[in-house]
Amino acid sequence: MIEIDGSVGEGGGQVLRSALSLSCLTGEGFHIYNIRKNRSKSGLMRQHLMAVQAAARISSANVAGDRLGSPELSFLPDRITAGEYSFDIGTAGSATLVLQTVIPPLLAARKASRVTVIGSTHVPFSPSWNYFEEIFWPSIARLGVRGETTARSFGFYPKGGGRVECTVEPAEVLAPYLPRERGKLTRLRIVSAVGNLPRTIAERQIQSALTGLKGKLERGLPMDIETRELTIFGQGTFIFIKAEYEHAVAGFTALGERGKPAETVGAEAASEFLEHHESGEAVDPHLADQLVLYLARGTGASLFRTSRITSHLAINLLVTGYFLKLSCRVEGREGGPGAVAITPTS
């Protein structure tokens, strides 16, 4: 059984989620300790516990330590089984993180699966549904992943209530990732949304983002701008910027919260996009770490450049190396742009 120190890197939930995915995929059991040790509330929170339970269901795993607040966990999977699965986090935990835990192993199932998750679609420190659907999913589709994604409803912290669905078809092999230079920026898509709040807040978020972008982009750049009013439990706001290049896409989300001005929300998204855009690199920092588990199963060497090397990238490379044989190399310092090479060796 593989021993994993959950306090490595940021000491957050990413270590656990990646280990769960890879354990199901390879059949290798693991024991993790110091779960989320570096967080203010350490141990398993509700959304992490749901990721454990979801992984256990699809793999008929034997689990010990699967309780709220637990600082350690033992997980021994059996066989991956395709099927219709529904997971209700029960809180405002991230629905996309639960999906990202079960998608890699379900690719190895013999039949297609449908997964429904109830929770939050827009929550801090996790991929927003917009990013999952418009950036992450098309990116893994280029590697050979097939299926569909649907959001039935959105949910925000602290009420939750979002409902998303994802179908995953079997994929015996995945292609390596060798993106070309990203090319010219061809279009920006900006979506600003509010739920049970004045529409003017969404409009102010957009105006703030546009102000931050003024003078930084080529004149005449096509822009699709959308303001949405959502039907949700509680209240919430977000703005999402999708950058379409000739050979790449990138996405950036900022969320509203009580006491946070709409102007700050819009400015955050614009600033994050500009940091990526001005780097000249093809892969945004969020996608870079999310691709690791898939590239480690590729049919050949993958090589890409990202606008920012993150601790999540380092963590996913480390944990993947516990379960799969691969050679990896990262050029550049954390926080700056760099190159990533991943080569499966067996």
Q: Which domain holds residue 112?
A: 2-178
Catalytic residues: 312
Same domain, 143 and 209: no
Read off the pLDDT of residues 141-163 as tens digits, 9 standing for 90 and up: 999 999 999 999 999 988 889 99
Beta bridge partners of 252: 241
Same domain, 160 and 51: yes
Of 279, 304, 338, the last residue of a domain is: 279
Same domain, 94 and 227: no
What is the total count of domains within the chain?
3
Give the pLDDT score at 90: 84
Of 279, 296, 330, the last residue of a domain is: 279
For residues 219 and 266, what is the distance between their CA atoms, to the nearest angstrom? Answer: 20
- For residue 100, is pLDDT > 90? yes
Same domain, 132 and 26: yes
Same domain, 260 and 290: no
Whichever domain contains 134, its CATH number is 3.65.10.20
Of 178, 199, 217, the last residue of a domain is: 178
Whichever domain contains 231, its CATH number is 3.30.360.20
For residues 256 and 24, what is the distance between their CA atoms, to the nearest angstrom? Answer: 36
Same domain, 48 and 191: no
Same domain, 166 and 54: yes
Read off the pLDDT of residues 267-294 as tens digits, 9 standing for 90 and up: 999 999 999 999 999 999 999 999 999 9
Same domain, 260 and 296: no
Give the global pTM: 0.96
Give the pLDDT score at 9: 78
Same domain, 261 and 306: no
Same domain, 263 and 116: no
Read off the pLDDT of residues 192-245 as tens digits, 9 standing for 90 and up: 999 999 999 999 999 999 999 999 998 889 999 999 999 998 899 999 999 999
Same domain, 155 and 294: no
117, exposed or middle or buried, with CB in 10 Å at 0-12, 13-18, 19+? buried
